[in-house]
Amino acid sequence: MLWVKAFHIVFVVSWFAGLFYLPRIFVNLAMVPADSRAERERLLLMARKLYRFITPLGVLAIALGLWLWFGFGFSGGWLHAKTALVVVLAAYHLWCGRLLAGFAEGAPTRTHVWFRFFNEVPVLVLIAICILVVVKPF
Ligand code: HEM
């Protein structure tokens, strides 16, 4: 069980590294002047590579979490609340994919200020999940 939990945490941390950085690239993309094509293409390339890289990491983090849950008999309200937050996180991840497609199509995007607030969502979810899984308050 400890090996599964160790790799669960490794993939969780790797997934979050991308969930913290990808919206930061969106902040920069939303600030790129319209005539700076080279900079826009460079940021888009970084975002595409990052999104492709973190998607399997997120899948592995969740798969190992489910293995812990169903393979080792964990239970409790904390686990249901945690899983609900993970669904929010997965939706956030997919929303990033939609936003990235929008940037690539040159569709009008939200302001860089909006993306700064958007960037804070994974931080709040991470804090809540870590309290739930370590403290197990209910
Ligand atoms: C559906 C997805 C997930 C499920 C079913 C799940 C389930 C679990 C279970 C059963 C444990 C073992 C708890 C224990 O040993 O007391 C665990 C550990 C852990 N999980 Fe998840 N997890 C999921 C996703 C995540 C995510 C997205 C995070 C991100 C913060 C996360 C963070 C952790 C941490 C930090 C631990 C270690 C806790 C400890 O050792 O005290 N998990 N997870």
User: 81-101, pLDDT tens digit by residue?
Assistant: 999 999 999 999 999 999 999
Q: Are 92 and 15 in contact (CB under 8 A)?
A: no
- CB of 7 sitting under 6 A from ligand 1: no
Arithmetic mean of pLDDT over the chain = 96
Q: Is the pLDDT of residue 106 over 90?
A: no
Ligand 1 pocket: which of 1, 8, 67 to mutate (most atoms within 8 A of CB): 8
Show me where the domains of the chain are located: 2-135
- CB of 88 sitting under 6 A from ligand 1: no
What pTM, to 2 d.p., does this model score? 0.92
- CB of 19 sitting under 6 A from ligand 1: no
Q: Are 89 and 125 in contact (CB under 8 A)?
A: yes
- CB of 74 sitting under 6 A from ligand 1: yes
Burial (Cβ within 10 Å: 0-12, 13-18, ≥19) of residue 1? exposed
